[in-house]
Amino acid sequence: MPGCPICTHPERAAIEEKIRRGVFWTRLAAEYGLRAYLFAVHRFRHMPQGEDAAAGPAPEPRNAMGRTEFEENWVLVANMLRNVLRPFPEAWKRVLEGIDQLVFLTKPAS
């Protein structure tokens, strides 16, 4: 989930496995340099519970346009930049190229 430091952590799978095994949140906090309550919040809000736990994390909810909240925020940022840079078409072109590069770099390899 966007904004969750554990969901975006590079070692998310290892952290979630430790949470499932019952490692104390304070120990995880010391190991990963985060606050203990963040592990509790992640466990109860972002990790599946009960029978659903074997199925893995639930997909992010999507709006009517089929976008996640994170994707929708990027659309808003792009629209804002477009409006600000409208008088400067070359700058807008370079911003778009930069955004395309970011999207390319963040896509998982298949």
Phi-psi region of 66 (alpha: psi -120 to 50; beta: other; left: phi over 0): left
Q: What is the pLDDT along the chain (110 residues), one digit of tens a residue?
A: 667 888 888 898 899 888 888 888 888 888 998 888 888 888 888 786 766 555 555 567 788 888 888 888 888 888 888 899 889 999 988 888 887 777 666 555 54
**How far is it, in rounded angstroms, from Cα 21 to Cα 105?**
33
The answer to whether 92 and 85 have CB atoms below 8 angstroms apart is yes
* pTM, two decimal places: 0.45
Q: What is the DSSP string of 26-49?
A: HHHHHHHTS-HHHHHHHHHHTS--
Find the helix packing angle between 25-32 and 12-21, rounded to 10°.
160
